[in-house]
Amino acid sequence: MTIGFILNGEDVVINCDADVRLIDVLRGNFGLLGAKVGCRTGRCGMCSVIINGAVIQACLIPAFKIRDSEIITIEGFSQTNDYQDIITGFAQARLETCGYCRTGKILCAAALLGNNERPNREEILAGFSGIKCRCTESDVLVEALTASSQIRMRRLYGRAS
């Protein structure tokens, strides 16, 4: 099956079986290893990518469903100013992530801040509910997202609130 989509801002076309999972397409066809292979059931969040503005677990998505979609991986997102805002906010809050959940947490932060410039505690925790990792305490996560939000708003508008 021939499938066209946008990957990290570039139009791409692949030929693959319709039921091949997106995680395998990203890693095998494009060498993008930022999304990790974890549970393959959508529970852990290690394979997170952004599809059409929403964080989705790439292990759950068959290739035929990505036709005409816009997909952003950590490799593509890491080239943006929003990425810098998020990792700076994470550092300010001393949020330390393990190597497995880092991609998912960064992309969840990106999607959350892209849809809500000033999320509250409940919105932050709900936005990260798809990432199952115990390496980060929820209070630190909230502090990190609050800092990231302020940094982003300062960059975009010249003020934090």
- Per-residue pLDDT, 8: 98
| Percentage of the chain lying above the pLDDT 90 cut | 83
Instruction: Please say if the pLDDT value at position 14 is more than 90.
Output: yes
Confidence at residue 11, expressed as pLDDT on a 0 to 100 scale:
99
User: Is CATH 3.10.20.30 what the domain over 2-72 is classified as, yes or no?
Assistant: yes
> Could you tell me the residue ranges of all domains in the chain?
2-72, 81-157
Amino acid 136: pLDDT? 84
- The confidence score (pLDDT) of residue 4 equals 98
Write out pLDDT tens, residues 68-96: 999 999 999 999 999 999 999 999 999 98
pLDDT of residue 28: 96
Cβ neighbourhood burial of 81 (10 Å; 0-12, 13-18, 19+): exposed
CATH architecture of 81-157: Orthogonal Bundle (1.10)
